[in-house]
Amino acid sequence: MINWGIVGLGNMGHKFASSLEETNNSKLRGIASLNDQRLKNFQETFNIKNEFLYKNYNELLEEKNIDAIYIATLNNSHLELIKSCAKNKKNILCEKPFTLNYEEAQEARDYINRNKVFFFEAIAFRSHPQTQIVREIINQNEIGDITTVETSFGFKVKKINPKSRLFNKNLGGGSILDLGCYPLSTLNFLFNKDSKYEFTSANGTFCSTDVDDSANAEILINNKVKCTIKVSIKENFDNKTVIKGTKGEIIINNPWLPEKKTTLDIKNNNSFYKKFINSDLSIFANQTQKVSENFLNKTQNDKFLVDIDDSLNIMRNLTEWSNIIKK
């Protein structure tokens, strides 16, 4: 059983605590917030004992009965919390993006490796059964060799709030940092970690707070697979992933937040069928269950989770993408 602590009690903190209740290998044993009212509200919602409440992050991180920490604070605080977790020998599940840029990502990686703790980034779709089915279809050669990938994630925020994490540059705002990890994580999953990524083109737009509110890129992988990725916080996209091969294609209808029941559309030569996928757990519970399983087994290289090497690769490409559109 993994005893979890939560740092940051906002929306994702609530979703994580709810996910723990669905698992059979995880328990909530500590919550920390710098906001007394938020701490109290969270306690009441999840019926948490007083002894598991911490008004100071360090006190939670130093608690010997805590095995792992879920980091759900604002993006700009992730690096220091990762370093503190690592120094206190706590395994880590960190909300995306786990850092603000590639330089920070390298520093986080060094602390994680030096202190020999396990780390995963919370990109939850990777641990959903749907992702495993996609892998099986590709491995069974149903669509042949992959030739192109098209994937997007976009939603419309009606009002720009300069204080919001989405629109505040100091908090790590912008569409690339907030959403770009999803399409890039898909590419990382489809291709080996040592694959060559080449940005052949990239464009973006910026809002009044000077963060990118939309961006797109063309990426050539291993000099042969053409990938098109798009993100936006000012426009609703269809939010689908289309993987085309020499023999057919897979359409992932709900790639980023698949429900307990979801579908894939598979075309193979002249045939077409719809694959129905059922999950016993919610998307976040799948992630929590699988992360805790890896912590218990002391394993790191789970292709259905985003480990530190995967995260480093994603952040390198996010940073390059961001730098290109700023020129």
CATH number for the domain harbouring residue 228: 3.30.360.10
Burial class (CB in 10 A: 0-12, 13-18, 19+), 220: middle
Whole-number pLDDT of residue 312: 96
User: Which of residues 124, 157, 179 is at a domain's end?
Assistant: 124
269 pLDDT band (50/70/90 cuts)?
confident
* In-domain check, residue 299: no
Instruction: Answer yes or no: do 261 and 141 share one domain.
Output: yes
Instruction: Answer yes or no: do 242 and 219 share one domain.
Output: yes
The 3-state DSSP composition of the chain as helix, strand, coil percent (nearest 5) reads 35, 30, 35
* In-domain check, residue 76: yes
Instruction: Answer yes or no: do 156 and 44 share one domain.
Output: no
pLDDT in tens, 190-212: 998 889 999 999 999 999 999 99
* In-domain check, residue 289: no
Q: Are 72 and 16 in contact (CB under 8 A)?
A: yes
166 pLDDT band (50/70/90 cuts)?
very high
Instruction: Answer yes or no: do 8 and 66 share one domain.
Output: yes
| Residues whose CB falls within 8 Å of the CB of residue 103, separated by 6 or more in sequence, listed in order | none
304 pLDDT band (50/70/90 cuts)?
very high
* In-domain check, residue 298: no
The domain total for the chain is: 2
| Residues whose CB falls within 8 Å of the CB of residue 51, separated by 6 or more in sequence, listed in order | none
pLDDT in tens, 7-46: 999 999 999 999 999 999 999 999 999 889 999 999 999 9
* In-domain check, residue 285: no
What CATH number corresponds to the domain at position 10? 3.40.50.720
Instruction: Answer yes or no: do 115 and 215 share one domain.
Output: no
The predicted model gives 231-244 an average pLDDT of 96
Instruction: Calculate the average pLDDT of the chain.
Output: 95
Instruction: Answer yes or no: do 317 and 219 share one domain.
Output: yes
User: What is the longest distance spanned by two Cα atoms in the chain?
Assistant: 62
3-state secondary structure of 190: helix
Instruction: Answer yes or no: do 106 and 205 share one domain.
Output: no
* Number of Cβ atoms within 10 Å of the Cβ of 52: 20
Instruction: Answer yes or no: do 185 and 235 share one domain.
Output: yes
Residue 93 has pLDDT above 80, yes or no: yes
Residue 226 has pLDDT above 80, yes or no: yes
Strand 26-32 and strand 53-54: pairing?
parallel
Instruction: Answer yes or no: do 64 and 147 share one domain.
Output: no
Which range marks the domain in which residue 78 is found?
Answer: 2-124
Instruction: Answer yes or no: do 165 and 313 share one domain.
Output: yes
Radius of gyration of the chain (CA): 20
Residue 327 has pLDDT above 80, yes or no: no
* In-domain check, residue 291: no
User: Which of residues 73, 99, 124 is at a domain's end?
Assistant: 124
Strand boundaries in the chain, DSSP class E: 2-7, 26-32, 53-54, 68-71, 91-95, 119-122, 146-154, 197-206, 212-221, 225-232, 241-245, 248-252, 261-268, 271-278, 306-307
* In-domain check, residue 295: no
pLDDT in tens, 111-158: 999 999 999 999 999 999 999 999 999 999 999 999 999 999 999 998
Question: Of all residues in the chain, what percent carry a pLDDT higher than 70?
Answer: 100
Instruction: Answer yes or no: do 320 and 198 share one domain.
Output: yes
pLDDT in tens, 281-295: 999 999 999 999 999
Instruction: Answer yes or no: do 114 and 162 share one domain.
Output: no
Q: Whole-angstrom Cα distance, residue 225 to residue 117?
A: 35
* In-domain check, residue 189: yes
* Number of Cβ atoms within 10 Å of the Cβ of 316: 16
Whole-number pLDDT of residue 132: 96
Question: Of all residues in the chain, what percent carry a pLDDT higher than 90?
Answer: 91
User: Which of residues 66, 96, 124 is at a domain's end?
Assistant: 124
